Amino acid sequence: FVRGRAVYTESFGFSHMGGSAQLEAHVCAGALDLAAARWPYHRVIVRTDCAPVVRSRMPSSDSFRVAVHEVRERCRRGWRVVRYVSRKANPAHELAREGLKSLSKQPMLAAA
């Protein structure tokens, strides 16, 4: 979210063990890493539909920290963490991707 508006949304398909808290942690860990790389000077918040929780960049619980660590390790080793669902299943997918591309091409502004 930037200034209260979602700048990018995407649907994911997951293979995971565990309940909604674990799924939510994996979604957020991946999304926070992507967002931190694309918008390094912004406070990043990720909201998911799989658990009624909003996460910021700093993990606040041990289980979430473990999930973040696991996702980052998988990324470092080149392992897939998520797979996208079919674009046909999400008509907004391409529109969201194009919006993100145009946003990422804008010059970065340092936080005031």
pLDDT per residue over 88-108, tens digit each?
444 454 555 555 555 555 554
**28 with 65: CB under 8 angstroms?**
no
Distance (Å, rounded) from C-alpha 13 to C-alpha 7?
20
Please tell me the distance from the alpha carbon of residue 108 to that of residue 41, in angstroms, as a whole number: 8
Residue 78 in tokens: 């080149």
Axis crossing angle, helix 20-38 with helix 62-76, rounded to the nearest 10: 60
Statement: residue 52 has pLDDT above 60? no
Q: What is the pLDDT of residues 57-76, one digit of tens each?
A: 455 566 656 666 666 676 66
Strand-pair partners of 47: 54
Six-digit token string for 10: 């995407």
Helix (H, G, I), strand (E, B) or coil at 83: strand
- Give pLDDT tens digits for 7-43: 666 555 555 555 555 666 666 667 777 777 777 776 6
